[in-house]
Amino acid sequence: MGILAHNGSSILAQVACIWEATARKVGNVHPGASFKDVEYTDFLISGAVLGDALRMFRRKAGDPTLVGEYVFWSEASGWVGSNTNLGIALLLAPLVDSVPTWDYRRSVAEELGALRRSDTVRVYQAIRSANPGGLGDAPEQDVREEPTVTLLEAMRLAADRDMVARQYANGFADVFDFGVPAFLAGLERFGCVEAAIIDSQLRWLAEYPDSLIARKRGTEVAADVQKRAAEVLRLGGIATTEGRRAGVELDRHLRSDGNKLNPGTTADLITACLFVALRENKVAPNAPFRWHAPDWL
């Protein structure tokens, strides 16, 4: 299991967070682009907080799940003043907490099946603390109320409107079957991590409407962003001059209304994919990162 033999899962989680935040993805914060209330260093601090939370706990086979505790202690708004990593914490917690076996995907499914109501309580506390944009009200098991179901059951209730909840409901199928292969294909094609991340972000956006955009601006706006990303890919994506030009225009569109079109859920999903690729030794932390393209963001 390579680096994980030395309890390195928290380090891999931090690497995934750093990679995701550093890549120049459309509409997101990166070293060259900030939001009014969030900048690149906030994401680095959040990744450090998350990694520290993961190191606080050690779980062995047969022990109760620690997913709820991971999410609660990873929520970093108290450190940076904004909700920067709640979605990442929700996604990485079951991926990191799963007991290592030869079949990683099966161990994740078993982890999800072992979730308890106490996990839901802690996650709800973290969500209320983070107060994510477009939270709204839920018809059942609203986060403002005391939960009566396990975290998996709660996530199933939200799976039709939130891509993070959907991963719990389907055993992270979109991460394992779509996101990780998309990243690895980009890595083989472009030879560096940043380009693979940017390429996979465009593919995520073209395949699935972003949940954060849908919550803030509605499903029609999210579908419009989906169509725009598909057009970037139709023009060749970041592999062609036309595609890169269209990608730059998409980036401007996503930032045109006070960053209300920030595809934040997609960014969280990419972080989960990066962790899985690292966890399964499909990419190394010291892989070439920087993508050199003079006509990109």
> Taking 80 as the threshold, does the pLDDT of residue 131 lie above it?
no
| Domain count for the chain | 1
**Average pLDDT, integer, range 53-60:** 76
* Model confidence band, residue 60 (pLDDT cutoffs 50, 70, 90): low
- Residue 102 forms part of a structural domain: yes
**Average pLDDT, integer, range 225-249:** 98
- Residue 7 forms part of a structural domain: yes
- Residue 286 forms part of a structural domain: no
**Average pLDDT, integer, range 256-278:** 95
Q: Hey, how many other C-beta atoms are within 10 angstroms of the C-beta on 182? A: 21
**Average pLDDT, integer, range 59-80:** 81
Structural domain containing residue 122: 2-279
CA distances to 22, 33, 90, 145, 292 from 40, rounded to whole Å, are: 8, 8, 20, 33, 20
Helix (H, G, I), strand (E, B) or coil at 226: helix
Q: At what angle do helices 264-279 and 86-97 cross, to 10 degrees?
A: 20
> Using CA atoms, how far apart are residues 102 and 125, in angstroms rounded to an integer?
34
- Give the model's pLDDT for residue 135: 47
Q: Out of 94-103, 183-192, 265-274, which region has the weakest mean confidence (pLDDT)? A: 94-103
Q: What's the chain's average pLDDT?
A: 91
- Give the model's pLDDT for residue 132: 66
What's the pTM?
0.94
- Give the model's pLDDT for residue 139: 56
Bridge partners, residue 30, by sequence: 33
> Using CA atoms, how far apart are residues 105 and 92, in angstroms rounded to an integer?
13
> Taking 90 as the threshold, does the pLDDT of residue 188 lie above it?
yes
- Residue 296 forms part of a structural domain: no
Which amino acid appears at position 33 of this protein?
A
The first and second tokens of residue 56, run together, are 């606080």
Q: Which residues contact 211 (CB under 8 A, 6 or more apart)?
A: 161, 162, 163, 164, 222, 265
Find the CATH number of the domain harbouring 273: 1.10.4200.10
- Residue 289 forms part of a structural domain: no
- Residue 150 forms part of a structural domain: yes
